[in-house]
Structure 1
């Protein structure tokens, strides 16, 4: 079982006013939403996982924000309640079997100025299984990017609150300059993660469209095969009927020829010599 993150130690080291006004209400809100979401999922007999809890919390939250997976992991009470009710629990001593074929996340890095036509041609050469495997990797990478993005947002908020507390307690120019550098760094990382998130979303949409196109081509191919089989059957029937008609005509012609020969022979026998 995974243990929640140790970020609670950082919150305990925060000033008392910051702990009371920011961290405590935030933690209580997370616990309240997680419990309500888990109870709703259990009552509806639905799967209890981090993804379903996050989605349900957005539905139950009047503000529509809900909680993120990282917030559940960092909050000890919320994480314990989630672990108690989650649908899947990994058995002890489970041996993980590696997949036969895997796609490294690094191989999915996309250049901003890449040739989309060449990329499309490359995807057209992939099989359905390869496209599905790549789509799964893209979804996993997107989930990781989303998780990282949420964590950076939380860190940015914490950093901004700490800076505000330091400015209220003591106006030290050197400390403010250092804090500003750290904040700018977090802001830059946040922008980069947003940009990568948009790229992963675009890649995901393209793979989904390609997968739908592959299924459409397979359905069209099956229809053509059925039509071809029907035409071959009709051709076989028409050929058999034509052969039967030819045989009948040949039989009639043969009988007529025999009758003509018999009439000719009779006429010859009647001629006096």
Structure 2
């Protein structure tokens, strides 16, 4: 017993409705993205969705999944989203052996430095740069511990 189902998308009146909704989503999404850029906020699915509800005269806005499924809106999102670009850049990185040739001199770090400024600077670094800095710090600590232990035992000879 074989049943054939007519595709819902083949209905002419439904295509027109779908096109209207799709165009509405694109317009609202683009408005939201442009507004986020003006405000200096990150262009993310959630931010676009929330802002579109404020911009929409009906108050409905668009769902985050609409951004992914609507090709025109998704393309516009990819152009302006830094988080999307970060994910794309992260995919292309292969695990590499980290070269420990950093010019970081841990002896010059002052104990009375402004921690907030240091934190801001660390937040600007990539994950790979942070890992490299952490490895360098651990190496520095390990070498100094070895020197300290050697000097400590030299005093008792």
TM-score in terms of structure 1 length? 0.29
| TM-score, reference length from structure 2 | 0.50
Relative to total residues, which structure has the larger helix share, 1 or 2?
Answer: 1
